[in-house]
A = this chain, B = another copy of it.
Amino acid sequence: MNKVDLSLYLVTDNSDNEEKFLKTIEDAILGGVSVVQIREKTADTLDFYNLALKVKKITGKYNVPLIINDRVDIALAIDADGVHVGQSDMPCDVTRKLIGKDKILGVSAATVEEAQKAEKDGADYIGTGAIFPTATKDDAESVTINELKEIVESINIPVVAIGGITLKNASELVDTGIAGLSVVSAIMSADNPKKASEELLNIFNS
């Protein structure tokens, strides 16, 4: 199993304003983000590739792992640190074969069954959510805090919670056994992404 510090896991959103997007990622890392995932669901492959290269310069500078959502080809092309796949993406076992054993493989799982299958199929960690209502991903299945705890207890790989996590509700997750908080809007849309990151990490470590 590949180990990664999942304490504060940033998933990116809309990169239309690229300069602001890249600055937000760098500020978030300076504030304590421990892993960055690029999620681009509509970009042309070339645009995604070029963006990923730019983000990799930033994550590389701070030695923070860079994960690519869904697109194994982009991850291989830029030699990212890993890939994150959902239940509608490439199957976990196929993804593991494509990326090899040394890259990080994360899988979204909303049930104990999905999480156990992902562990068996080569996942290094699980992302579980949405925990709270979220505007970013309106098709996400919702997972209660009790279900999150059940998933954590059912597998031996770490779990990050994702979906609607904010400074106001993050403390509700501290005792669930998760390895980290995964956020999009709470950092990407924050007025001060560095401060938001510091505060989220403080809550998680408290």
| List of B residues within 8 angstroms of A94 by Cβ | 49, 77
Question: Do A45 and B89 touch across chains, with their CB atoms under 8 A apart?
Answer: yes
Question: Do B77 and A46 touch across chains, with their CB atoms under 8 A apart?
Answer: no
A70 vs B44: C-alpha distance when bound (angstroms): 9
Q: Which of B46, B70, B89, B91 contacts A90 (CB 8 A)?
A: B46
Taking Cβ atoms with an 8 Å cutoff, the residues of A that contact B are 44-47, 49, 70-73, 76-77, 85, 87-91, 94, 98
Question: Do B77 and A98 touch across chains, with their CB atoms under 8 A apart?
Answer: yes
A88 vs B73: C-alpha distance when bound (angstroms): 14
Q: Which of B44, B47, B88 contacts A46 (CB 8 A)?
A: B88
| 9 shortest interchain CB distances as A-B pairs | A72-B73, A73-B73, A44-B88, A45-B89, A46-B88, A77-B94, A45-B90, A76-B98, A45-B70
- Residue pairs across A and B with Cβ atoms less than 8 A apart, 5 shown, are A45-B90, A46-B88, A49-B90, A49-B94, A73-B73
Nearest-neighbour CB distance to chain B for A123, whole angstroms, equals 16
A94 vs B46: C-alpha distance when bound (angstroms): 11
Nearest-neighbour CB distance to chain B for A120, whole angstroms, equals 18
| Residue among A49, A76, A85 with max Cβ neighbours from chain B (10 Å) | A76
A73 vs B88: C-alpha distance when bound (angstroms): 14
A191 vs B72: C-alpha distance when bound (angstroms): 38
Question: Do B46 and A73 touch across chains, with their CB atoms under 8 A apart?
Answer: no
Nearest-neighbour CB distance to chain B for A116, whole angstroms, equals 19
Nearest-neighbour CB distance to chain B for A23, whole angstroms, equals 26
A71 vs B85: C-alpha distance when bound (angstroms): 15
| List of B residues within 8 angstroms of A47 by Cβ | 88
| List of B residues within 8 angstroms of A45 by Cβ | 70-71, 85, 88-90
| List of B residues within 8 angstroms of A85 by Cβ | 45
A70 vs B76: C-alpha distance when bound (angstroms): 14
A91 vs B49: C-alpha distance when bound (angstroms): 9
| List of B residues within 8 angstroms of A87 by Cβ | 46
User: A72's closest neighbor in chain B, by CB?
Assistant: B73
